[in-house]
Structure 1
Amino acid sequence: MENTANQPIGIFDSGIGGLTVAHAITQVLPLENIIYFGDTAHLPYGDKSTAAIQAYSVKICDMLLKQKVKAIVIACNSASAAAYELVREYVGSKAKVLNVIDPTIRYMGQHYAGQRVGLIGTKQTVFSNIYRKKTDELDRDITLCSLATPLLAPMIEEGFFNHNISQNIINEYLSSPVLADIQALILACTHYPLIKHDIESYYKENVQVLDSSLIVAESLQNLLAENNLLRTENPQPTKRFYVSDYTESFEHSTKYFFQEEVQLEHYPLWE
């Protein structure tokens, strides 16, 4: 079936961190229906193997395709690094596919040629070297300085942000010599927008902190427009939020990530 503008947008992440991307999408594209899937049964993806992440991603995309989505946004840096090419091949012409890495790389190429840019993310994202590889392919003389910050995502999941404990951990990471003399810092994890203020406080506005969620949302808008898939009217947009493993703590945390109350539905994809 050919995609139509009235079909929903599918978004998935290893957990609820991708709700920062989902929120940005609803702000940029308020007329669109969205379906979000958080694979909370397997979070975090940051310490999973490439093969495992690929298997999870394909199964989630299969579920989203059954929901007749017109586009799938991989709202997870680890899954974008490990599974984007496989997902794009698997989905084929059934839906447009967007990851969270390529739009950020394009933005960096447009604004930071010849400069030093820092990046913080999970071990999987950083050690995959996907950002470094794509940055080198830009041929814009950008020096990318990447640092794995594995404590940040679980810290945020547990609600430790805007707090003395979180600030101490953030300061410890950002003081690494790896990030010395950078002009900008990429937040290469969908959890990190929640600590963007703390990171900006550390740099005292001397470094531009790049939250990729808005960059991704605007890139999705352009992709849909190019393919005549933008919804032009919708009096009551719907938002569905599924998780593969439900706990009350996830429900409680969602309002921080999505910035409004969210009703989570348990979807036992792995049973």
Structure 2
Amino acid sequence: MQTEPRDRPIGIFDSGIGGLTVAKAIKALLPQEQLIYFGDTAHLPYGDKSTAAIQAYAVKICDLLLRQQCKIILIACNSASAAAYELVREYVGSKAHVLNVIDPVVQFVGQAYAHRTIGLIGTKQTVNSNVYKKKIDNLDQGIVLHSLATPLLAPMVEEGFFNNTISESVIQTYLSDPSLQDIEALILGCTHYPLIKEQIERFYQGRVAVLDSSELVARHVGEELQRLNLAATTLQGEAHFYVSDYTASFEASTRIFFQRAVRLEHYPLWE
């Protein structure tokens, strides 16, 4: 039986647990939406992978999400959004609507920080792609962006090293970099970073606004669902979680995020 378009699930993917911050925000804002999450744990982190590799992973993941009849495919990873968004949009075509985690943040920055100086921290892939700078410059709002690659942060979060002295030291070292001086706001340019947002805020002690993309992205997804007349009215099923490589730490993180027992389904991208 053909499922009504509005009753189809939202597909979300990331290299690991980072995208769970976005999934949790979407579930909180849009509880009637069914979520299908793919964590590409076999290839994390994406931040040090080549553009071609990330594009290959993304296409394989989209094949699965399309088979699950997802109405929206959200690339819940800044590195993959930078490297693969245009390719994924072309590949998916009219079968689903493809969204990324960068555009909602850029839109918010344009509205809130015209003619001001802001910072960005992210993976090497995200920062070196210059995608944020290009999009912010295209706004023509006089915004100055200072970017810093922080490659140790995502693996640190994946391994559970946050809210301790190790993470405090790494975070302090990065945020003390001269390139991030005199900023008024800091974009967390990786979906792992909301998990260390409190530590980052403690470092700045209110001097700098810390911009968490997960809530901005969730609002954007809700707006797109309304615009496309695809908002679900009743929940069709519980969230379903796939991983390309089973890890106990990912299962534990998922359980903590969603505050219930979850079952991970192993789905290798290459058999």
TM over 0.5: yes
- Determine if contact 1:194/1:257 at 8 Å carries over to the other structure: no
Query: Match for 1:69: what amino acid?
Result: C
Match of 1:253 in 2: 253
Asked if 2 retains the 8 angstrom alpha-carbon contact of 1:16 and 1:257, the reply is no
SS of match in other structure, 1:61: helix
Q: Which residue of 2 aligns with 1:79?
A: 80
**Structure-2 residue corresponding to 1:43:** 44
List gaps (5 residues or longer) in structure 2. Answer: none
The two structures, once aligned, show a CA RMSD in angstroms of: 1.5
Give unpaired runs (5+ residues) of structure 1.
none
Q: Which amino acid aligns with 1:246?
A: Y
Change in 2 beyond 3 A, CA 1:10/1:141: same
Shift of 1:48: 0.5
The separation in 2 between residues aligned to 1:151 and 1:269, in whole angstroms, is 26
Cα distance, 1:180 vs structure 2: 0.4
**2:183 counterpart SS class:** coil
What's 1:158 paired with?
159
CA distance in 2 between counterparts of 1:125 and 1:270 reads 25
Deviations 1:63-93 (A, max 9, x none): 1001101000000000000000000011111
Instruction: State the 4+ residue runs in structure 1 displaced beyond 4 angstroms.
Output: 256-261
Provide, for residues 33-70 of structure 1, a one-character-per-residue CA deviation record: whole Å limited to 9, x for no partner.
11000111111110100011111101111110011010
In structure 2, the partner of 1:4 is 5
State the SS of the aligned residue for 1:18: helix
Following superposition, the deviation at residue 15 of structure 1 comes to 1.4
On the 8 A contact 2:16/2:158 being kept in 1, the answer is: no
Opposite residue 245 of structure 1, the aligned amino acid is D
Q: Which amino acid aligns with 1:124?
A: Q
Q: Is the 8 A contact 2:136 2:143 kept in 1?
A: yes
2:254 is aligned with what amino acid? Answer: T
TM-score normalised per structure 2: 0.96
TM-score (norm 1): 0.96
Confirm or deny: 8 A CA contact 2:57 2:269 kept in the other structure.
Answer: no
Name the counterpart of 2:205.
204
Find the counterpart in structure 2 of residue 53 from structure 1: 54
Give the 3-state SS of the residue equivalent to 2:265 in structure 1.
strand
Corresponding residue for residue 103 of structure 1: 104
Q: Residue 173 of structure 1 aligns to a residue in which SS?
A: helix
Residue 249 of structure 1: how far off its partner (Å): 2.3
Superposed displacement of residue 267, structure 1: 1.2
Structure 1 segment 137-216 matched on structure 2, within 5 A: 137-216=138-217
% same residue: 67
